[in-house]
Structure 1
Amino acid sequence: MHETVIELLNSNAEHADEFQSRFDDVQDSQRPSVVTVCCSDSRVLQDHMWGNDQPGHIFTCGNIGNRVVQRTDSGEAVSGDVLYPVEHTGTDTIVVVGHTGCGAVTATYDDLTDGLSEPAGIEHCLSLLKPRLESGVESLPSDVSRTEAINRLVEYNVDRQIEFLIESDEIPSGVDIVGVVYDFQDVYGKRRGEVHVVNVNGEIAVEKLREKHPKIDSRIRRLWEY
């Protein structure tokens, strides 16, 4: 067996020792407070980024590009990963988590600008991102660098995912939908691993968001108000 798996099992043994009693209240059911949709990038630590060590608190979903959309026989729908806790466990908050330097956004940008050849599974994922990022690519200022373009599109992608959720009949109107960007590249500041709020229920204007949410005004920041 690969040494990495052995290391994982050893770490899991420590985890099991620590968590013996933490499953007492959630062994038979769950009522998570929030569902997060993160990019499945190894640098995005889905629970640890929130300091979460409580089973049953956060329902985590992960895929490349933090997508909330899946393609079905009847058309596009809210991904079942996201919809399940809203539909069945009473979860009333959705957080869409983008991150700086996102590889899926980068690949989509490259595909839209220069064309790209990827294996079928990856191409399928990009095909769900491309129609949502195309208008963003077209709107980018001509003087931005490639890195700046990617990170602006990270925000734009979060916005489009939230837009899809808001417009979907599958998501009740009372569900709060928040968009954030996880920064480990010193793009928004010097605190690596900090989360920055970029969208709340479709609103992206920073000053309006800060006025409406004064308790978190220092955490609200955007690179691009298009």
Structure 2
Amino acid sequence: MHQTFVELLERNAEHAQEFRSRFGDVQDSQHPAVVTVCCSDSRVLQDEMWGNDEPGRVFTCSNIGNRVVQRTEAGEAVSGDVLYPVAHTGTDTVVVVGHTGCGAVTATYDALTHGLAEPPGIDHCLGLLKPRLQAGVEALPEGVDRTEAINRLVEYNVDRQVEFLLESDEIPDATDVIGVVYDFQDVYGERRGEVHVVNVDGETDPDALREEYPDIGDRIARLWTY
């Protein structure tokens, strides 16, 4: 047995001991307040970033590139794992969580700029990002280096995912849709692991957002206003 898995089981035993009394209210149903769509990067600590240790509070989805789109026979649709809590558990807040140095955004950038290919499964995922990032790649300011380009496109991707949700008939108009970037590379400041708000219901101007949401003004930031 691989030692890493043995260690995971040991951690799980500690988890089970700590949480054994916390599932009483959610054993038969769930009504999470928020659904988060995170990138499935091992560095993105999806519940820990919110300090969440409450079962039933956050419905967490993840995939490479924090995508909210899937392809169906009828065309593009809101991904089922994102839509499920909105449609069936009364969840009325969606948070799209990008992160600095995103590998999926990097791979999409490379595919768009250099034609680099990935295995079919990864290529399928990137195929959902390419049409949304193409215009962003073309709009990048001259002189930005590769790292700067990727992190600007991280914001751009979050914006496009938020936009898709807002334009979808599957998402009720009353649903709050928020876009954020999780920073563990000191891109937005020196507080590694902090979440920065870049988009609220389609509004991306930091000054406008700070005026409307002064209580979180210090958490609103953007690298790129295009």
TM-score range, shorter chain: over 0.9
Residue of structure 2 in register with 1:75 after alignment: 75
The 3-state SS of whatever aligns with 1:77 is strand
What are the residue-to-residue correspondences of 1:51-130 with 2, within 5 Å? 51-130=51-130
2: distance between equivalents of 1:110 and 1:135?
14
Query: For residues 202-223 of structure 1, what are the alpha-carbon distances to aligned partners after superposition, in whole Å with 9 as ceiling and x for unaligned?
Result: 0000000000000000000000
Residue of structure 2 in register with 1:223 after alignment: 223
Query: For residues 50-103 of structure 1, what are the alpha-carbon distances to aligned partners after superposition, in whole Å with 9 as ceiling and x for unaligned?
Result: 000000000000000000000000100000000000000000000000000000
Residue of structure 2 in register with 1:198 after alignment: 198
5+ residue gaps, structure 2: none
1: distance between equivalents of 2:141 and 2:83?
35
**Matched residue type, 1:36:** T
2: distance between equivalents of 1:38 and 1:132?
17
**TM-score, structure 1 as length reference:** 1.00
5+ residue gaps, structure 1: none
Residue of structure 2 in register with 1:152 after alignment: 152
2: distance between equivalents of 1:163 and 1:117?
27
CA RMSD in angstroms, aligned pairs only? 0.3
**Matched residue type, 2:60:** T
Residue of structure 1 in register with 2:209 after alignment: 209
Residue of structure 2 in register with 1:186 after alignment: 186
Runs of 4+ in 1 over 4 A off after TM superposition: none
1:116: Cα distance to partner?
1.1
Identity over aligned pairs, percent: 77
2: distance between equivalents of 1:179 and 1:87?
20
1: distance between equivalents of 2:11 and 2:161?
35
2: distance between equivalents of 1:183 and 1:117?
28
The 3-state SS of whatever aligns with 2:180 is strand
